[in-house]
Amino acid sequence: MTAEELKSGYIFLLDKPLDWTSFQAVNKMKYKLKREFDLPKKFKIGHAGTLDPRATGLLIVCCGKFTKKIPEIQDAPKEYWTEIKIGVQTESYDTEKPEILQQDIAHITEEQVKEALEKFVGEIEQKPPVYSAIKIDGERAYNLARAGEEVEMKSRKTTIHYINDITIDFPLISFTVGCSKGTYIRSLAHDIGQELGVGAYLTQLRRTKIGDYKIEDATDQFLSNDFRFLANEK
């Protein structure tokens, strides 16, 4: 790898760790690359699709001229391994906020769960979580929510291509979901809970695919403090 190759265009597949923001991961990469390859101050780098801090998995980072590929990659279908907990909710729809509104799930059967999941396959309407990066009047929704302000999220159309590999171990349900750009899996978890009538929230989320890019080809080593890129001098 050389500085010229990076400026001409390069794609890194990161396995984003838990509790890192996508911005932090890209910033770490940018710092390392600029330091080790003596890249210009305005070296272009960006990610192709945000992952929430409480999610792990595939984060695609584009460098140099390949930053032009970001919109194309972002538009590609996504796949996630998902775990939800039913019978309880959180304000953030994930583990960022504490559990609230506990309900009895003794009457819920595996068949009911599978029927509920099936209803979400296809084009659906969903509201993004209040704790999301969507901008409202120029401000991130999560900043407004954390400041205690009332936030009204508008519903939008999205597509769930498939839900499979379902495992049920009450109160936990896990499955693989394939979806279109702009799908909020936290909202999907919440809506599944509403469909079952007992509430639910997202406990684990791992992005496994974006288009033809797979998590099996990703690494978290680029983010390690002791990892060094090997700069090949021409």
- The pLDDT confidence band at residue 230, using thresholds 50, 70 and 90, is low
Going through 41-197 in order, the beta strands assigned E by DSSP cover 45-47, 56-63, 78-86, 122-126, 135-136, 139-140, 156-169, 172-179
- Tell me whether residue 169 is one of the annotated catalytic residues: no
Q: What are the C-alpha distances in Å from 12 to residues 29, 44, 59, 74, 210?
A: 9, 13, 8, 15, 13
- Could you tell me the two tokens for 131? 């704790």
Q: How high is the pLDDT of residue 234? A: 35
In the set 15, 19, 38, 52, the catalytic residue is 52
Weakest mean pLDDT among 3-12, 47-56, 98-107, 127-136: 127-136
Q: How high is the pLDDT of residue 108? A: 98
Output 37 or 108, whichever has higher pLDDT. Answer: 108
Q: How high is the pLDDT of residue 142? A: 74
Residues in the chain: 234
Max intra-chain CA distance, the chain = 68
Going through 73-171 in order, the beta strands assigned E by DSSP cover 78-86, 122-126, 135-136, 139-140, 156-169
Q: How high is the pLDDT of residue 231? A: 53
pLDDT digits (tens, 9 = 90+) for 162-218: 999 999 999 999 999 999 998 999 999 999 999 999 999 999 999 999 999 999 999
The pTM of the full predicted model, rounded to 2 decimals, is 0.90
Q: How high is the pLDDT of residue 171? A: 98
Q: How high is the pLDDT of residue 233? A: 42
Cα–Cα distance between 161 and 224 in angstroms, integer? 35
| Region 17-40 average pLDDT | 91
Residue 199 has a CB neighbour count (10 Å cut-off) of 22
pLDDT digits (tens, 9 = 90+) for 33-92: 988 888 888 899 999 999 988 999 999 999 999 999 999 999 999 999 999 999 999 999
Q: How high is the pLDDT of residue 56? A: 96
